[in-house]
């Protein structure tokens, strides 16, 4: 694989596999994944529940380790890195919007959004966090704890937190899944504004075909395989939960 390809790629994946051990034996979740995502590109990953979408996202973001294969994140090979080095790379390059929010229960909405900026040494973390919360429509919830927020409000806090450090790559697992249609459209607009204005690479997992169609590419995960096959995107995106 040439350095030129890696230089122009935000994410590059070669022969990626992920297996886990169960009571019945070895279960292979991802099978021979190959993927190249260019810097600044937006990519949607569709597929039914249990197809391996979230597993793939976690591997690409250096949150998990593959069974075999290689991943390059912004030109850096992940396999030689230890956990401390992976954490440093994530801090520098990556933001992740989790389906389960992953907010700190004892921190207010404002403090949750400030946290990554403070860890990164941003001097005006509070002002930036306030601006992000205003942008997602939560100016009246700055001092509320997560338990005092609705699920949709918690999701918007998580999205504001992901945006604050202007990441090189933004991973999003069902970013609009807990929002009503109005707020879902607002958050989608934010995702693509960041993608376009900051040249941030956007990789999202979604069941929302309309959201997926706003991305430059739509990939389909099916039975552990990843395919660029938009003709199959609609039925897979609409498949019922297993």
Residue 100: its pLDDT value, please?
Answer: 83
Residue 229 has pLDDT above 70, yes or no: no
- 98-144 confidence digits (pLDDT tens): 878 899 999 999 999 999 999 988 999 999 999 999 988 899 999 99
CB 168 within 8 A of CB 199: no
Residue 3: its pLDDT value, please?
Answer: 40
Residue 235: its pLDDT value, please?
Answer: 56
Element (H, E) at 73: strand 68-73
Instruction: Give the range among 35-39, 78-82, 108-112, 150-154 with minimum mean pLDDT.
Output: 150-154
pLDDT: is 3 or 106 the higher one? Answer: 106
Residue 195: its pLDDT value, please?
Answer: 81
- 31-47 confidence digits (pLDDT tens): 999 999 999 999 999 99
Domain ranges of the chain: 40-62+80-237
Average pLDDT over residues 186-211: 88
Residue 232: its pLDDT value, please?
Answer: 52
Alpha helices in the chain (DSSP H): 3-7, 53-60, 83-93, 109-119, 125-135, 151-163, 181-197, 209-213, 233-237
Q: Which residues, at least 6 apart from 22, have a Cβ–Cβ distance to it below 8 Å? A: none
Residue 1: its pLDDT value, please?
Answer: 44
Residue 179 has pLDDT above 50, yes or no: yes
Residue 198 has pLDDT above 90, yes or no: no
Mean pLDDT over all residues of the chain? 89
Residue 216 has pLDDT above 80, yes or no: yes
Residue 98: its pLDDT value, please?
Answer: 84
Residue 238: its pLDDT value, please?
Answer: 54
Strand pairing class (225-227; 217-222): antiparallel
CB atoms within 10 A of CB 1: 12
Residue 181: its pLDDT value, please?
Answer: 85
pTM: 0.85
**CATH of span 40-62+80-237:** 3.40.50.300
Residue 242: its pLDDT value, please?
Answer: 33
């Amino acid at each position: 694989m040439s350095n030129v390809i890696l230089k122009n790629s935000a994410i590059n994946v070669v022969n990626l596999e992920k297996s886990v051990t169960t009571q019945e034996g070895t279960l292979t979740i991802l099978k021979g994944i190959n993927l190249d995502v260019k810097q600044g590109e937006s990519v949607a990953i569709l597929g039914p529940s249990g197809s391996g979408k979230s597993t793939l996202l976690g591997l690409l973001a250096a949150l998990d380790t593959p069974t075999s294969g290689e991943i390059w994140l912004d030109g850096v090979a992940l396999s030689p890195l230890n956990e401390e080095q992976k954490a440093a790379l994530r801090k520098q390059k990556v933001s992740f919007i989790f389906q389960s929010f992953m907010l700190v229960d004892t921190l207010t909405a404002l403090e949750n959004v400030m946290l990554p900026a403070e860890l990164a040494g941003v001097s005006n973390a509070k002002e930036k966090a306030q601006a992000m919360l205003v942008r997602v429509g939560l100016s009246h919830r700055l001092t509320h704890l997560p338990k005092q927020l609705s699920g949709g409000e918690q999701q918007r806090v998580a999205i504001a937190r992901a945006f604050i450090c202007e990441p090189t790559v933004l991973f999003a697992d069902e970013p609009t899944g807990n929002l009503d249609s109005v707020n879902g459209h607002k958050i989608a607009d934010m995702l693509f504004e960041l993608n376009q204005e900051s040249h941030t690479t956007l990789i999202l997992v979604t069941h929302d075909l309309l959201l997926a169609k706003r991305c430059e590419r739509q990939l389909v995960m099916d039975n552990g395989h990843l395919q660029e096959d938009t003709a199959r995107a609609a039925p897979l995106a609409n498949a019922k939960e297993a």
